[in-house]
Amino acid sequence: MSHSEVNARYDEVTEKIRRRYEVSLGDPEAPDVKEHKIVHLVEGLLITDEMKLPGVRIYGTKNRPGGLDARNLMHETLDALLWPDTAP
């Protein structure tokens, strides 16, 4: 394969991956469907980079705070995701 063919194939595969992992969970056209967002914070998950699953994105962190620092990180995360409220 030539360099341009490899690049074209790479772009094709990357686009297929993007389309696969940016689909809705469920049928958005179903009657009475309401749009919603979910944030789930997981403690002790050893991921430092973004991970994509079908319809889900997992954002890792290099920080391992405890106590009030963990609460502050949670609020910073919600702010970064443009979440409308904060946790108690």
The two three-digit tokens of residue 88, written as one number:
């108690």
Band of the pLDDT at 73, cuts 50, 70, 90?
A: confident
> Which of 28, 7, 11, 29 lies closest to 19, judged by CA?
11
67 has a pLDDT exceeding 80: no
37, 77, 78, 79 from 82: Cα distances, Å: 11, 9, 6, 5
Tell me, yes or no, if the pTM score tops 0.75.
no
Please give the Cα distance from 79 to 84 (Å, whole number): 8
Band of the pLDDT at 70, cuts 50, 70, 90?
A: confident
Residues 75-84 have pLDDT tens digits of 888 888 777 7
Residues 5-46 have pLDDT tens digits of 999 999 999 998 888 777 767 777 888 877 777 777 777 777
